[in-house]
Amino acid sequence: MKFKSGLINKLAAQHKQLGVNASIKIADAIDASIERLGLSADISPINKLAAAIELGDFIIHKHIDESVLVVDGSTTIDTFVMNFFKSLSDDVVGTSDSIYKFDTTKGFNHTTAISSHVATALSKPLQDEAALSDTFTLLTDKSFLDGSSVSDSDVLAVGKYLANAASLVEELRYALSRGISDGSAATDKTALITEKHLDDITVFADDAVLLSQSYVNAFYFADDYTGTSRTG
């Protein structure tokens, strides 16, 4: 190669001095001569290499690839490809995470549903004194909801509490009325006995006037007639 190049340069210089541009013919002649000598005249597409150097962080994903390689043992090429898609899919994964977060929120909603059950349970304990502690628990749950149900529970609790109080008063009134009526009955019995006793006396007095049973005057029979009398 160097021989051929040097020969071309020398021949070219000579023809330049002669004012003849025959470099192409000379090159062809030399190629033909080399070929006749059995030498390879093929020219490699690669001559001497030159290199330019830059400093920087050119392959950022390379380190990430290696980390992934440690984790799953995938080959370097596969890891590199996977890492490339990972960098692209990070955003997508983020979106997916957000969706999962919504699911988490739904989970809290489920919890809220449980608290609603608690609220239902609270209404019953409100009928007795246990309702106070249940109401406190309900307030805690309602801070997660909207707080409106807190006031609702209060209204419900008050209504029931008043109803219970009313029932107690009514029971007391029934007891009092009975006491009064018993007394009245005793009075009535006493009066009834008194009147019956007077009526008996009157009947006996009327029976004494049986003189009218005779259809004649009593004075008519003067001495020898004696009327028949009865005692009833």
Partner 1 sequence: MGLTANFGSSTSTSDGEVAYGTLGTYKYVQGDTGPQMRFTFTDEDTGLLTDLTGAVVTLRLRPTGGSTVLTRELFVNSGAATNGEATVIWQEGDLDITPGTYEAEIEVILSSGLRVTLFDVVVLRIRADF
- Interacting residue ranges for partner 1, rule: CB under 8 A: 1-2, 4-6, 8-9, 43-59, 62-63, 77
Nearest distance from residue 118's CB to partner 1, in Å? 57
CB nearer to partner 1: pick between 43 and 192:
43
Quote the least distance from Cβ 77 to partner 1, whole Å.
Answer: 8
**Toward partner 1, which CB reaches closer, 25 or 124?**
25
**CB burial readout 19-37, b (16+ within 10 A) else e:** eeeeeeebeeebeeeeeee
Task: Tell me the closest approach of the beta carbon of residue 7 to partner 1, in angstroms.
Answer: 9
In whole angstroms, the minimum distance from the beta carbon of 8 to partner 1 comes to 6
Q: Which is nearer to partner 1, 84 or 102 (CB)?
A: 84
DSSP per-residue string spanning 145-211: TTSHHHHHHHHHHHHHHHHHHHHHHHHHHHHHHHHHHHHHHHHHHHHHHHHHHHHHHHHHHHHTTGG
Name the residue nearer to partner 1 (CB basis): 27 or 145. 27
Query: What DSSP designation does 212 have?
Result: G
Instruction: Decide if 134 contacts 125 (C-beta within 8 A).
Output: yes
